[in-house]
Amino acid sequence: MTDRAYRAAPADALRVEPLGDLTAIFDRRSMQTHLVVAPMPEILAALDAGPCNAAELAARLADRFDLDGEGDAAALLAERLNELSVMGLVEPA
């Protein structure tokens, strides 16, 4: 299976509001509000720099968080990217 690249929804499509440990993400396109926890908001923020796959995302997040940028981190981020895709917050690039 290939490591699919994703891009974030357009910035004006989402309203992101931190609520303590939760983050509310309102998608203006679908009129749905998603309640998420870390690392979902951080993933969306990292995708603002442009489309990337899970391995590239791990490298982007490694500088900010305690990640090795490879292996397990990339596999876990691939799962999170898939979840965000199902919610409609990211799409394949």
Rounded Cα gap, residues 34 and 23, in angstroms: 8
Whole-number pLDDT of residue 39: 92
Report the C-alpha gap between 16 and 35 in whole angstroms: 10
The whole-number pLDDT of residue 64 equals 81
d(CA 38, CA 35): 10
Give the Cα separation of 20 and 70 in Å (integer). Answer: 29
Which one, of 36, 35, 81, lies nearest residue 58 by Cα? 81
> Sign of the CA dihedral 5, 34, 72, 45?
positive
- Whose tokens are 């203006």? That residue is 28
- For the cut 60, the answer to whether the pLDDT of residue 1 exceeds it is no
Q: At residue 83, does pLDDT exceed 60? A: yes
